[in-house]
Chains A and B, each alone.
Chain A
Amino acid sequence: MNGLYIHIPFCRRKCRYCSFVSQPCIGPPPAAYLEALLSHIRLYARVDWLKGEGREITSIFIGGGTPSLYDGKSLARLISACRDNFNCRPGLEISMESDPNSLSLDQLARCREAGLNRLSIGIQSFNERLLKIMGRSHNRDQARQAFCVARTAGFENINLDLMYGLPGQSPDNWRQTLNEAAALAPEHLSIYELSVEPGTRFAELSDRRQLTLPAEEEVIEQENLTCSLLEREGFERYEISNFARPERQCRHNLNYWRNGSYLGIGAAAVSCLSGLRLRNVEKTETYIKMVRQGLLPLADGEALSKEASFRESVIMGLRLLQGVSLTDLRLRYVLHPRDYYGPVLHNLIKRGLIAMDGDYMRLSAAALPVANQILAELV
């Protein structure tokens, strides 16, 4: 599987917890950046790696930032450019991230026409107070409306992003958001615990002790609530923080967790070409300038040894509830985890943290909440 990722680094304003590469943008986002993306797509289309056997694009993901800040026409051009320049598999998944208050029916209809078939809406919470605290630019009603607009525009595959463990959030408060989300009946839910990242406004507040996060016990309760409630509603947890209805797993993201190859278009996007990882320059101005000059806008790269790649595939794959396929590891690296990790793995299995399940090695239910502890032994 090969993914194509396009990064749009603009948002209405910076959310207070956000550490992604995005910059606030008033009014319509710059046309120059869109043009740069189109040039970048044409540049990459000439890269030999893409012409290799089986190198078709199997998913496209337009992420951000907030891609939906662009109007329908621009987004349609972007999607078409991808489809025209790359060898795309028929019926491939094409997703886009969006913010509730930047969606319109006309815009979404144009995108759909161009081939967009999956929409992700950053809702985060249905609680007005929490939305304010987080510095989101929308309210509860706009969130609900956005979902309806998306359905009306014909989207049958919609994801909602939600967050828990928010300042002052009680398990009950979280339950309400979950219920409200489930009532809309989306196909997919991405659910993250808030983590206070350095450099964010939340980090500042937390340093000044002006941020009260729920106690560990409460967060655990929220976590348990998430799993039981969503399971009842017919969602399957297929990755540590992702839930989907049958057949609705996000194929683009699955490819990341299986450590597959992908192309990154746009400022700060990352490509991974058969294990060679390349990061694009972060500054949009630099990005635009380089692409205009016909240069690949690369900032740095990383090529891991075979063993390091193997370990990385293991830790990424373990994020999936199904686990990582032993056959896949053998074909790619000629290594078996049992031989490679020896007593370390043996010990984890003995402690009931890792399970060997036919062709799959996976984290046990007990290990999921403390996944990092186990991944840190295998990295």
Chain B
Amino acid sequence: MNNIRNFSIIAHIDHGKSTLADRMIQLCGMVSDREFKNQLLDSMDIERERGITIKSQTICLPYKARDGKQYLLNLVDTPGHVDFSYEVSRALSSCEGALLLVDASQGVEAQTLANLYLAMENDLEIIPVLNKIDLPAADPDTVAFQIEEDLGLDGENIIRCSAKTGEGVDEVLEAIVNHLPPPEGDSKAPLEALIFDASYDAFRGTIISCRIFQGMIKAGDTIIFMSNGASYKVEEVGWFDLKRTPRKSLQAGEIGYIIAGVKTVSDTRPGDTITLKDRPCAAALPGFQEIKQVVFSSLYPISTDEYENLATAIEKLKLNDAALTYQKDSSSALGFGFRCGFLGLLHLEVVQERLEREFDIPLILTVPSVNYHFYLNDDSLLEVDNPAYFPDPTLLKGTEEPFIKASILIPERYMGAVMNLCMERRGENTNYHYPTPGRIEFTCEIPLAEIIYDFYDKLKSITQGYGSFDYELLDYRPSDLVKLDILVNGERVDALAQLVHRSKARERGLHACDKLKEEIPRQMFKIAIQAAIGGNIIARTTISALRKDVTAKCYGGDITRKRKLLEKQKAGKKRMKTVGNVDIPQNAFLAVLKSDQ
């Protein structure tokens, strides 16, 4: 056990986590230089494009250190986005240490801080690493000072490297061996294994990623999940090399995988404890929580005959995404679809993109909503995450909405703008402090619903990209909610309805009308767009009728081009949903939530 090190890398998006991981893989000789492809660890397209990881990935690196001994370094790669902070905390708790990777030209970001605190809560040993020292804009001394002074980390241990050029990466590996403690545990004790992730394999079912804290596990053992008592027979255990490598057993201190005939990823819960049926441990490992979806939206296929395909696609997606929930839904405007729950807006967008990209199903997502509490006159509580189920206002005694605590890290000069933004978004109890001279960590309690309404975009634009943001759920607080309906040519489009705070209703209504006017192409008749609360129209706009096209020259040489233009126009129309007789493009449904860029 003394030659094992379990560690994770904490980094902000773009600070070079994947590149560093790839370099380490290369230095440990696991791939030849020819095979060395950038960013091996982030495997999904969408993740790579957005520079985010939504699932943990683990790799076990065989490393011969300068002391001449052979070590096993288990790198647990964690999701890097605020929507997935519970997953991050479970992955971190499987490790003894973490690299805090900071871009030497950018300094520490809010996201990094949040994950660093998570690591500290889990008593992890931290090795600060300054990356991108090869960049002309790099200012390692200032950033090192920031790390030492503000984060209270030992400046002695800061390593400087460039994952891109490879400079200093061997020092990082040495530090892992020398500064991180080896795992502790007793292989003879009853089994205590922590599930920190699971992924789906079409042939083997669920592959459980876990950390063995106590005891050992081998093929043939009967295990139980302590959260729900489900029991399974272990088929295979092993390590994560670049692929899975079966082992006779996994021992205390090790990180590896278990295959045990678990059908779907949803049958496992990150943070759950696995033990042996015959010889269970006394208590589950601490920190387990049920996953909580916070954003809800309905998914509809644009073409109604794709419903079955969508059902199959969601089912498949769910195999590998335990955080996604879904149930049947229907809308008078859009037909049959699914009401889905997501960890956050990013999770929602990732799911949408995967459905469209991997399953080729053009979708409409309805305006995202949070989960509201409604107290009725008979004192019963109704939880509603779908505007369609907004109760009759005359039966309502009170409403509550979820609040979050937002922490925003910004250069000082943006303080005023950010404070304004938070006030506009009904923020309360604002607070701030200076983690470093010139930088402010601003905290504020804000309704979650205000965050899903274009908050990220706004924050980014008012801070010119310098603001970073993280949040945690707080509690439910009294609110005054109304249902904002959108009517297109007099017809209520249920998929465009939103629940909003009364004080925001008019503003949102105007915004929705404007956005729809931008998004809905002119058609051969006039289109009236109205926003209403109950029977009251609070905002309106019209899209004038299309009265002419440009019909230019069309001769032999350009018949093909003309035809292709028309075909494109036709294909565009196919991606629209016809409500009444108005064609509404797919984008319109989410656009009502987005701000003007």
Contacts and interface: CB of A to CB of B under 8 A. Distances in A.
Contacts of A315: 563, 566
B524 A370 contact: yes
Contact of B549 (A190, A257, A264, A372): A372
Interface string B548-566: 1111111111011001001
Contacts of A376: 566-567, 569-570, 573
Contacts of B563: 312, 315, 379
Interface residues of B, number: 21
A269 B558 CA distance: 10
A216 interface: yes
Interface in B535-593: 546-557, 559-560, 563, 566-567, 569-570, 573
A371 interface: yes
B549 A192 contact: no
Given A315-B563, A379-B563, A370 B547 contact: yes
A273 B588 CA distance: 44
A170 interface: no
B557 A270 contact: yes
A379 B570 contact: yes
Interface residues of A, number: 42
Contacts of B546: 370, 373
Contacts of B566: 315, 372, 375-376, 379
A193 B556 contact: no
A268 B559 CA distance: 13
B559 A193 contact: no
Interface string A235-265: 0000011000000000001001101001010
Contacts of A370: 524, 546-549
A287 interface: no
A216 B547 contact: yes
A174 interface: no
Interface in A1-51: 3, 5, 7, 21
Nearest to B572: A376
A319 interface: yes
Given A370-B549, A371-B551, A379 B567 contact: yes
A272 B548 contact: no
Contacts of B548: 216, 219-220, 223, 369-370
Contact of B556 (A216, A262, A371, A373): A262
Interface string B292-310: 0000000000000000000
B560 A319 contact: no
A268 B560 CA distance: 13
Nearest to B558: A270
Nearest to A351: B524
Contacts, number: 88
B550 A270 contact: no
Nearest to B573: A376
Nearest to A197: B552
Nearest to B556: A256
Given A376-B569, A376-B573, A379-B567, A193 B552 contact: yes
Most buried by B among A165, A241, A379: A379
B547 A268 contact: no
B552 A264 contact: no
Contacts of A253: 555
A264 B547 contact: no
A153 to B, nearest CB: 25
A227 B134 CA distance: 69
Given A315-B563, A370-B547, A375-B566, A195 B556 contact: no
Interface in B258-308: none
B559 A256 contact: yes
Contacts of B555: 63, 253, 256
Given A223-B548, A369-B548, A370-B548, A270 B553 contact: no
- For A269, A272, A372, A377, the residue with the greatest tally of chain B CB atoms inside 10 Å of its CB is A372
A316 interface: yes
Interface in A305-355: 312, 315-316, 319
A240 B551 CA distance: 7
B569 to A, nearest CB: 4
A371 B549 CA distance: 7
A192 B557 contact: no
A268 B553 contact: no
Interface string A356-376: 000000000000011111011
Contact of B560 (A7, A262, A277): A277
Interface in A205-224: 216, 219-220, 223
Contact of A195 (B524, B552, B557, B569): B552
Contacts of A193: 550-552
Contacts of B573: 376-377
A377 B560 CA distance: 17
Contacts of B569: 372, 376, 379
A302 interface: yes
Nearest to A196: B550
A241 B570 contact: no
Nearest to B570: A376
A19 to B, nearest CB: 9
Nearest to A319: B554
Nearest to B544: A216
Contact of A369 (B549, B560, B567): B549
A6 B569 CA distance: 31
A257 B547 CA distance: 24
A159 to B, nearest CB: 13
Contacts of B549: 369-373
Nearest to B564: A379
Contact of A3 (B552, B556, B559): B556
Contacts of B524: 370, 373
B4 to A, nearest CB: 60
Nearest to B545: A370
Nearest to A7: B557
Nearest to B569: A376
A377 B547 CA distance: 17
A279 B557 CA distance: 8
A369 B567 CA distance: 19
Contacts of B560: 270, 277, 279, 302
B551 A241 contact: yes
Nearest to A165: B550
Contacts of A195: 550, 552
A277 B552 CA distance: 21
A188 to B, nearest CB: 14
Contacts of A21: 557
A193 B549 CA distance: 10
Contacts of A223: 548
Most buried by A among B551, B570, B573: B551
A241 B552 CA distance: 7
Contacts of B570: 376-377, 379
A60 to B, nearest CB: 13
A316 B559 contact: yes
Contacts of A165: 550
Nearest to B568: A376
A253 B559 CA distance: 12
16 contacts: A192-B553, A193-B551, A195-B552, A216-B547, A216-B548, A256-B555, A262-B556, A268-B557, A270-B559, A369-B548, A370-B524, A371-B551, A372-B551, A376-B570, A379-B566, A379-B569
Return the 5 tightest CB-CB contacts between A and B, nearest first.
A372-B549, A376-B569, A379-B566, A369-B548, A195-B550
Interface of B: 524, 546-557, 559-560, 563, 566-567, 569-570, 573
Given A268-B557, A371-B551, 20 more contacts: A5-B557, A63-B555, A165-B550, A195-B550, A216-B548, A241-B552, A257-B554, A264-B556, A264-B557, A279-B560, A315-B563, A315-B566, A316-B554, A319-B551, A371-B549, A375-B566, A376-B566, A376-B567, A379-B566, A379-B569
